[in-house]
Structure 1
Amino acid sequence: MTAIDRRALFARTAAWGLGLLAAERARGRRATEDLPPRGVAAYSESVYADAVSEDGSTGFIVRLCRYPEAGVAWCWGHAFRDGELFAFTDHAVPCDPAVSDLDAAEVAYRAERPGYSIALRRVGPSSRPVRCTARSRFAAHPFPRSAGAQAPPPGDGPVAMHIEAIFAPAHDPVSSLAGRTEVLGTVSAELQIGERTTALACRGHFHEQQQERPRWTAPFCYATLRGPDYHSVAILLEQGAVGFVERGGQIDRVVGFAIEPPSDGPGERHFEMRLDAAEPVRGVYRDTHVYSVPIYDLRRRGSVVAGEAGDAAVSGCVNDFLPERLTYLV
């Protein structure tokens, strides 16, 4: 099947699927299938921002994945405070058909519907951004810490959320996977949960990715950690590991990533990152919040963490998808 044939087939599938989504929404139900169908190739753009306090107690995660050909976006929002998690997912938010230019000096990614909006912006070229911003309003579902790796119901919850954040890169972006750039740095943000607003001054992560391959078909363990003069991303895949460690402006590539398997609830995981031109980084982190995100009929485990990477005190996020297909440290 040619690319044109595939796009035509996807467009017809998307049109039918969006009609189903609209009909189900009108009847107050959620459609049983997300678009695009799992395993179907479709051009997509994902952009992500997070901020996590040094002790891992407070922060937020927002992610937008646009499928311009389908006119639909997958949108997530998570906030953490005082031992509670607030979660939002909607895989049927409308988005316009425009394709973003990652080479532009400034690019903005947006999606919205009544009761929900997200806008993530990068100012400066993708090779050297000056700053990035995140703004989102959504209504989330609350989960106590004791709930473990639960996934929220789809759509709006009872708790109003508002996130405003400015991200300052600490290094030039690094690409470990095709079409993807990642940068870590410092974040200044206001996190409003209900009627209470919390000011954040901490470290965070911003990444962009464009691809035509189907998403959510390959297993991974993804760890993003940051601390004083330390930033790392390590990704465990079936075929090996990729990522980087940045310290004092020096980038070392990850060539091996060994980590203990995830547990159902909060736990502790030891890890080792082998580097191409430096000594391995060994450490341990503890989950401060654990949750999951629905992916078709599957779940992606997510955790906010705090711990140590070598001599650095770090915090960040670790995600596991299809862990039964990965080889973990035992």
Structure 2
Amino acid sequence: MKKLYFLVPGTDKTFFCGGLVAELKILNLAKEICNSELVTYRQREIDTLFLDDILKQDTRDIIFIISWGFDIPKLIKRLKGHNIVYHAHSSGYGFNIPSYIPIITVSHNTMGYWGQKAPHSPIYYLPNQISDEFCNLNLTRDIDVLVQKRKSSRYLLEQLVPRLESRCKVVLITNFVEDITKLFNHSKVYLYDSAEYWGQQNVSEGFGLQPMEAMACGCQVFSSLNGGLSDYLDPEFNCQKIAVYSTDYDVLRILKAIDNPNPNIVSDPSQMLINYRSKKIIERLEVILNQINLFFDHKSNFASDIKNLQKTTKIKTLTKKVWSKLKSYKV
């Protein structure tokens, strides 16, 4: 197997986000399969490889894994001629991926996006990992409702939370929490509403790990269903949808969940989570990496002969359809 280099701009607080955490997790799992290392490309860091230095070496037996959405076009141009894999978290950035670059997607939602936008690229599905630390510790649930301010909608923070605060105990997280597992284990209900946030960014919710982590810890989850969240959330069976019709309706359902938990929703989620734990992801990643290595071996000896569906072709097809309808139209 070729060596894997996972490219990130940096790892300090400047670049800290869910995508970086997910990428570092996959890197650690990849180390169980083949030689894999972290490489930064915007800033040099102690004990970490730097891309400028790597590109001065022989890279024929290296695969570069790129993932940082806004940097992808520049990275593709810079790494032209090398083996590149795009690890796609979110979708909607607007760039195209050429067919010589395999795409690994973290959700079926993202896979569908690239299946339409890059129909001739190798595309694979590899969900993000949920760490084993996220589990039900059977602690006293003395928090009625838990909310994280980051990515939350204005409706959630300005309408729903104030209404709930007068009826039950609400904890609003405004800063980074070192051990959120305990907070999840102390909470009865977790609220997550990111549709507005990602809509403003014009990109999708790539995976949405927080609701899954809360579910793993035994929380009842009220969440939006945008982007990657739709992969695993199933209203009335493992969660409830938030921001439905009116604030009163949300308050009614949340208070009911606090007092009388839905047995379907609070049932043991371990079966559902199996495919998101490290063991299954390593098994899936090994299959994907074997296929990607085979693809790059093939690419080095054969040229692509599948034509892309160009904009001009789309326009011609649409014009023919319109003209056909006009001819068949009778007054």
> Larger strand proportion, structure 1 or 2?
1
* TM-score calculated relative to the size of structure 1: 0.24
* TM-score calculated relative to the size of structure 2: 0.24
> Larger helix proportion, structure 1 or 2?
2
